[in-house]
Chains A and B, each alone.
Chain A
Amino acid sequence: MQTNFIRKIIFDEKSRALLIQTLVIGLFAVFIYLIAQQTAYNLEKRGISSGFDFLNISAGYDISIRLIPFSSEDTHLRAYFVGLLNTLMIAVCGCILATILGFLVGIIRLSSNWLFRNIAYVYVEFTRNVPVLLQIILYYSILLNLPKIKQAFVIFDTFYLTNRGLFSPSPIFKEGFSIVFWSFIFAIFFSILIKRFLKKKQEQTGKQYPIFLINSAIIIFTPILFFYVMGMPLEFDSPVLKGFNFKGGMVIRPEFLGMLFGLSIYTAAFISETVRSGIISVSKGQREASQALGLKSSFVMRLIIIPQALRVIIPPLTSQYLNLTKNSSLGIAIGYADLVHGFGGISLNQTGRAIEIMLIVMLTYLSISLTISLFMNLYNKSVQFKGNA
């Protein structure tokens, strides 16, 4: 009886799996328990209190780059949101710029011109084989070496590029601008409806309509019309040199620009490779067949090549977006006030609540990553091959 029981455990797959899993979870629980106990002991010994009450204490430091108002009297919780918004801002701007640059370079790499092709190749190899942190620091130091305020580079008489950032006019929205804005939103919705309607009609009658032209006209001219009707409710406040600094306008700081250039130039190199491999993956026959059918070359690209290439491009593009977002945490190296720099750095040093703060920061990044994957997966589903299964 005894031996039978042991035999069953060792030789029966199901009971063996059960045994192994019980052991693993037991060991894991013991491991967690030991660490928790040790940590509690260590915390007590060092006199570090724990809990999340610190979030309501005033932070006591200032953050220069911010999207919402923040002063040193505000709480750590607010510092968290300032940092989170900065992280999201650099991530969104970086992803957009990296996508544009990456698609451009990816297409240039397939150019028929040997020199263009190889310039793009050299760019890709040099940027993706050098650490992104090094590139961020390098671009930042280039930006810091720009001329001083007095000798600023002037671009179109409105932008001033200096070692303290890019000074540009700031928009002032006057009464009635919200109507212009809503008319713009309305125009977008309306154009979507028109697109659906005309597509349906095209399917029924076979007649092609200039959907793109009609819709761009609607989207561009509706807001302009409302803009004039409302009496041009928008003015610009230009920066003016007064004494040692610019007055008025707004400034894009070199920390932000350094991060933006570093992240997008680095990530664009990877995106260009995925774009290139996506376009190559569309078989030559597809292009030849569409040309044989008499499609214009712009139609071949838009209707045949790109929809098929997107299927290959989207999954690796998603992971590049995720990488860019995670790399945006490197702002700490040049003083860009993102989540890790402000909340995860200064708040941590001031309150000493390492465990709580790192937990919050990590969970935040996890949720950002999961959100990006979710949306990109949805988009991916919409471009994937839809066959009759």
Chain B
Amino acid sequence: MSIVTQNFSRNKYFNWAVKNLFSSWVNTIMTIIAVIFVYEIGSFFLNWSIFSADFKTNFEGEIITDRTLCSKNIVPGEYGACWAIIYARWDQFMYGLYPVEETWRVNLTYALLPFAIIGILFDKLPFRKLFIYFTFIFPFIAYFLLYGGPGLSTVGTNKWGGLLVTLFLGVTGIGLAFPLSILLALGRRSKMPIIKSLCVVFIEFIRGVPLITLLFTANVMLPLFLPDGVNPDNLLRALVAVTLFQSAYMAEAIRGGLQAIPKGHIEAAEALGLTYWQTTRKIILPQALKIAIPPIVNTCIGLFKDTSLVLIIGLFDLLGIGRAALADMTWTKLYYEVYVFISLVFFIFCFGMSRYSLYLEKKLKTDNS
């Protein structure tokens, strides 16, 4: 008898299953319910998205050029997804209305982007200094490639769209907001009452109103604020709103980091005769930013998701392009395909960022102990 139990208890998987799935009657019933639930949802979704879905061609092998050729619109009872809309609109999803013969410029920018970011993300990277230098040059390269300049034809931002606009607003917004947010966070902790109250009012105002009202304001009122000759285009107006918005949230994240620095560090630095800016630059910020990175990444995830709001002011980001595709009579009514595809793109970016944030939290924990 005891031998039998021992044999069972040696089996790692069996033990695991007993502990996590069948520890009690209630637990067993829960497991059965969960299995049925997962099976039903999973099989439906897999069937819809893969097994009975059309990709480029329908069930007869015909290439799908409009929605009436989708299997589900021909065969009664068929419900599989019709991914042909994604193939047909792929260029728009990636580049918007960017001229087809110039899309290599966008592709090149996409390809260079990871190299510009990687230096900031990982501190033990070989040749990290080179990557950091590249980070600072990258905005100019990207501007030259995307907008045009000597040797390259100009492509107006009204032609930009899809992932290009989403990434542009996300990356540029974060990049511009970062220095601004450091100043705001320092200002909020400043001993000078006027500077402090200006920063507090700015941060709390921006955090108290929805992004959509800021986008509206930038869209409608920026032209009113500026002299005649200066008329920023729609994308730039959205960028202003997004940057201000992000800087307020990031400033709060950084303030959290600043508050975590023991006062003794500042006093010690002052006792050594360092000036305010020396103390800030060499003692406080390096420590505070390190602590603040996980919450900063969280605000970045938030901002990346919020870039989808620009569709409301008439820009064509990923979601805007998706809605435009659905408004086209040849593809209309394929909502789920389009929205699931866009969700997947956002999910990949945001989930990636949240994993990075977790990785950092773990790394910082081991450093401290």
- Write the residues of chain A forming the contact surface with B, with a CB cutoff of 8 angstroms: 17, 20-21, 24-25, 28, 35, 38-39, 42-43, 111-116, 119, 125-126, 128-135, 137-138, 141-142, 145, 326-327, 329-330, 332-333, 340, 344, 348, 354-355, 358, 361-362, 365-366, 369-370
B31, CB-defined interface residue at 8 Å: yes
B216, CB-defined interface residue at 8 Å: yes
The distance in angstroms between the C-alpha atoms of A112 and B198, with both chains bound, is 50
Q: Judge whether A130 and B20 touch: CB under 8 Å.
A: no
Chain B residues, CB < 8 A from A354 = 220-221, 224
Q: Judge whether B305 and A130 touch: CB under 8 Å.
A: yes
Q: Judge whether B35 and A115 touch: CB under 8 Å.
A: yes
The distance in angstroms between the C-alpha atoms of A369 and B210, with both chains bound, is 10
Q: Judge whether B213 and A137 touch: CB under 8 Å.
A: no
The distance in angstroms between the C-alpha atoms of A133 and B205, with both chains bound, is 22
Instruction: Describe A's contact surface by its main secondary structure.
Output: helix
Which range contains the number of B residues in contact with the other chain? 35 or more
User: Would A24 and B195 be within 8 Å (CB), given that A113-B34, A138-B343, A365-B208 are in contact?
Assistant: yes
Q: Judge whether A131 and B194 touch: CB under 8 Å.
A: no
Residue of A nearest to B217 (CB): A358
With beta carbons under 8 angstroms apart, the residue of B38, B192, B225, B312 that contacts A333 is B312
The distance in angstroms between the C-alpha atoms of A362 and B339, with both chains bound, is 30
Q: Judge whether A42 and B308 touch: CB under 8 Å.
A: no
Q: List 19 A-B contacts (CB under 8 A).
A: A17-B192, A21-B193, A21-B194, A112-B23, A112-B27, A115-B35, A119-B38, A125-B354, A129-B350, A129-B354, A130-B350, A142-B336, A326-B209, A348-B216, A354-B221, A362-B213, A365-B208, A366-B205, A369-B208
Q: Judge whether B213 and A365 touch: CB under 8 Å.
A: yes
Q: Judge whether A134 and B346 touch: CB under 8 Å.
A: yes
Q: Judge whether A126 and B212 touch: CB under 8 Å.
A: no
Q: Judge whether A131 and B308 touch: CB under 8 Å.
A: yes
Distance in angstroms from B361 CB to nearest chain A CB is 12
User: Would A115 and B319 be within 8 Å (CB), given that A21-B195, A358-B221, A365-B213 are in contact?
Assistant: no
The distance in angstroms between the C-alpha atoms of A90 and B213, with both chains bound, is 18
Distance in angstroms from B158 CB to nearest chain A CB is 21
Q: Judge whether B21 and A115 touch: CB under 8 Å.
A: yes
Among B31, B198, B213, B221, max chain A CB count under 10 A is at B213
The distance in angstroms between the C-alpha atoms of A115 and B22, with both chains bound, is 11
Distance in angstroms from B175 CB to nearest chain A CB is 20
With beta carbons under 8 angstroms apart, the residue of B30, B191, B350, B351 that contacts A116 is B30
With beta carbons under 8 angstroms apart, the residue of A113, A130, A132, A134 that contacts B30 is A113
The distance in angstroms between the C-alpha atoms of A306 and B156, with both chains bound, is 57
Distance in angstroms from B167 CB to nearest chain A CB is 14
The distance in angstroms between the C-alpha atoms of A119 and B27, with both chains bound, is 15
Chain B residues, CB < 8 A from A116 = 30, 34
